[in-house]
């Protein structure tokens, strides 16, 4: 399965939040939000730092489990002779390629991903009591365009 293995690995690396893939961008934004310098919150900042630590632990455990899943699925010895006959067609490979392109596009150009979620986030903020401000105000776009 020469297409499935590498595309699965790319998805695994993205979900483990490794740079320069989309999972890293989303985790970076979470860390940025949790540790954003601002008003001195004192002890109120403690739960935010604890959440960042827990997120880091979950990321590490995720990377370990994804490594195991890939190893068991693609690096083992074939267990059946039907494996040689397995030939995925374009309907199976096409969505994986589209997904891989999305992973790479958002990972390499994070501002594109923020543009995609700006309108839905604005609608959600309009429904809440938060003031309606552009998403770019919350995220320094220069951090994501380097």
DSSP labels, 5-49 = HHHHHHHHHHHTT-TTSHHHHHHHHHHHHHS---S--GGGGHHHH
| Alpha-carbon span 6 to 61, nearest angstrom | 21
In a domain, 71, yes or no: yes
Q: How confident is the model at residue 37 (pLDDT cuts 50, 70, 90)?
A: low
| Alpha-carbon span 28 to 9, nearest angstrom | 21
The tally of domains found in the chain comes to 1
Which residues span the domain enclosing 32? 4-108
Distance of alpha carbon 48 from its chain centroid, rounded?
20
- pLDDT tens figures, 80-113: 777 777 778 889 999 999 999 999 998 898 888 8
In a domain, 53, yes or no: yes
In a domain, 144, yes or no: no
In a domain, 145, yes or no: no
Distance of alpha carbon 28 from its chain centroid, rounded?
9
Burial class from Cβ neighbours inside 10 Å (0-12, 13-18, 19+) for residue 25 reads buried
Residue 75 has pLDDT above 80, yes or no: yes
Cis previous bond, 20, omega within 30 = yes
In a domain, 130, yes or no: no
Q: How confident is the model at residue 2 (pLDDT cuts 50, 70, 90)?
A: confident
In a domain, 61, yes or no: yes
* Residues comprising the chain, all counted: 146
Q: How confident is the model at residue 41 (pLDDT cuts 50, 70, 90)?
A: low
């Amino acid at each position: 399965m020469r297409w499935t293995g590498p595309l699965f690995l790319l998805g695994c690396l993205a979900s483990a939040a490794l740079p320069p893939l989309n999972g890293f961008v989303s985790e970076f934004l979470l860390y940025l939000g949790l540790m954003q310098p601002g008003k001195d919150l004192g002890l109120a900042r403690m739960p935010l730092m604890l959440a960042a630590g827990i997120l880091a632990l979950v990321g590490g455990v995720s990377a370990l489990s994804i490594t195991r899943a890939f190893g068991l699925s693609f690096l083992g010895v074939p267990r059946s002779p039907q494996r040689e006959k397995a030939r995925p067609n374009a309907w199976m490979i096409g969505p994986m390629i589209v997904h891989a392109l999305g992973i790479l596009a958002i990972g390499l150009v994070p501002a594109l991903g923020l543009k995609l979620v700006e309108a839905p986030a604005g609608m959600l903020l309009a429904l809440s009591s938060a003031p309606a401000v552009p998403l770019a105000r919350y995220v320094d776009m220069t951090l994501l365009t380097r």
